[in-house]
Amino acid sequence: MGDVADSATHTNNWAVLVSTSRFWFNYRHMANVLSMYRTVKRLGIPDSQIILMLSDDVACNPRNLFPGSVFNNADRALDLYGESVEVDYRGYEVTVENFIRLLTDRWDEDHPKSKRLMTDENSNVFIYLTGHGGEDFLKFQDAEEIASHDIADAFAQMYAKKRYNELFFMIDTCQANTMFSKFYSPNVIAVGSSELDESSYSHHSDVEIGVAVVDRFTYYTLGFMEEIDKNSTLTLQDLFDSYTFEKVHSHVGVRTDLYSRNLSEVLITDFFGNVRNLVPDDDSVTNNHENDKELKSESTLLKIAKLKHNEALIQNTTTNPQVTKSKRINTDDAIYQGAVETYNVTLVKALGIFILVAFLFLLKTMSCSKTDTLKTTDISLYDEHVAIY
């Protein structure tokens, strides 16, 4: 692959895919996002590194003629909801606040790991947003909106904490290009479907589903992506060149002033795939194969480790059977304190005896009172009886 591959410096890839609009007639936004999800997954980004935010559940909508399925084309050849889809944020969880929290990683301490964007300075992050928007805003759930400077500030915070190596922002909405106009953090590349005062259009409708199933910009992006394989050498420049006004019906905007690399050197798979480069492990075992079996595999490191291990074992058996390793460094304070906590045994014993005695006493008085009442009633009955008599 030569020079093209060498310019990339990331070691892992993440994708954040967000559909922001609710209701059945916005079917296409869900389909857009699910198509992108399928593409990045096909190119090797694992589910644990994809954050999928799906604002509505069109697959299970009562109006859906094909329950449990979502299609992005009228030919319905590909069910986007068919294979395993891990939705991280669903329905009303898709909010501006959660999106910003996701980017800046500010959560409760018990927020699940699978719902967090755990990127570092080696991560290339692909962010895709689709929904209804306007000049400098994008609507979430038809109830609130995110402004372009909110996203810009979130990116700035990500950059400050080295939470990305490079960031690719793609947005398919009306007046999309305004959404990345406020960005100011380095190493961000952005592409949007339409410029200021321009609408983004849907591609086509499915008669049976009854609504539009995909947006034009996303449709042609996906069309381009289908040609891509993990070992593809096509670049972002090729992708951007593929957008024409005849296809998209709006002016696609690309922002590169924050980005240092030349677009024709940036592979599509730098953002859409997750290629792990293998390094053959030549040393250690395979080199000294002439020795006998036992020695063959043992490196000096292992020998030392074993020696130390045996020493520790001997020490432990003679002095103290407890394992003392790593207590100084890696103890979790909470667990350690929990282990130390004990009961006051005498107090527990005394309390137990007291309860036992009290119980016995109670039992006794109860049985006594029972017989007493029986007696009295008997007498009274008798008395009454006598009186009446």
Partner 1 sequence: MSTITLRRLVTLSFALCYVLIGLPLWYKLTTIYRAPLPAEYIESLHTKIHEDIHLTIPVYVQSNLYQFPDVHDAIQAQADELLKSVNEEQRRVQWSLQVLPYVEGKIDAKDDYVVTLVLDESMGLTIPQFGKETIVFFNDESVLDNDLPFFAAQALIEHTFKFEWENFSNAPQKSAKTDSTFKNMAVSYDPNIHISISLLTGDSSPVAWDIDTALKEYLTPIRELLSTFVNFTVDTGIEYHNDLNLNSLVNKSSISWNDLSHTLDLSELSSVNHYQEQNSINLAIVFPSAETSSLEFANATEDNTNWKSFLVPQWGVVVINKDPLPVNAYVTHDYLASVISTFANDIFKLLGLSQSEDDLTSPLIKIDSFKRKIIIDNLEKSITTLSSLVNMTNHLQQMSIPKEVLEDVNNALKIRLQIVDLLNNPELGGDETWNEALRLSNKLVKVCERAFFHKEMVQQTFFPQEHKVAVYLPLLGPITVVTFTAFFKSLKEVLTKSKKCATKDDGKDDTTKNEELKAE
Residue 89 DSSP symbol = E
Residue number with CB closer to partner 1 (45 or 53): 45
Which one is catalytic: 111, 132, 309, 368? 132
If one asks whether residue 335 binds partner 1 (CB under 8 A), the answer comes out as no
DSSP symbols for 172-200:
ESTTGGGGGTT---SSEEEEES--TT---
Which among 60-68, 243-251, 256-264, 279-287 is the span making contact with partner 1, rule CB under 8 A?
A: 279-287
Stated length of the chain: 389
To the nearest 10 degrees (0 to 180), the angle between helices 148-160 and 96-104 is: 20
Rounded CA-CA distance 350/347 in Å is: 5
**Is 247 or 296 the residue whose CB approaches partner 1 more closely?**
296
**Residues in region 1-40 near partner 1 by CB under 8 A:** 1, 11-12
Give the span between the Cα atoms of 115 and 99, in whole angstroms.
11
| Among positions 60, 143, 160, 350, the unique one binding partner 1 when judged by CB under 8 A | 160
293, 321, 340, 389: residue in contact with partner 1 (rule CB under 8 A): 293
Amino acid code (one letter) for 206? D
The region of 15-23, 72-80, 114-122, 185-193 touching partner 1 under the rule CB under 8 A is: 114-122
Q: How far apart are CA 280 and CA 200, in angstroms?
A: 48
> Does 110 contact partner 1 by CB under 8 A?
no
CA torsion, ordered 78, 79, 84, 89, to nearest 10 deg: 120
Q: Contacting partner 1 (CB under 8 A), which of 7, 284, 373, 380?
A: 284
385 tagged catalytic: no
Give dist(CA 361, CA 152) in Å, integer. Answer: 75
Contacts with partner 1: how many residues (CB under 8 A)? 68
Q: Is 174 a catalytic residue?
A: yes
Both tokens assigned to 164: 């990305």
Candidates 41, 139, 203, 216: give the one binding partner 1 (CB under 8 A): 41
Among 283, 339, 371, 385, binds partner 1 (CB under 8 A): 283
Which of 59, 70, 96, 125 touches partner 1 (CB under 8 A)?
A: 96
Determine if 354 is a binding residue for partner 1 (CB under 8 A).
no
- Residues whose CB falls within 8 Å of the CB of residue 225, separated by 6 or more in sequence, listed in order: 39, 268, 272
Q: Which of 63, 90, 204, 325 binds partner 1 (CB under 8 A)?
A: 325
Cβ proximity of 255 and 183 under 8 Å: yes
* Interhelix angle 27-42/216-225, nearest 10 degrees: 20
Q: Which residues are catalytic?
A: 132, 174
Site residues, partner 1 (CB under 8 A):
1, 11-12, 41, 44-49, 96-97, 100-101, 104-108, 112-114, 118, 120, 122, 150, 153, 156-157, 160-161, 229-231, 274-281, 283-286, 289, 293, 296-309, 312, 325-326, 328-330
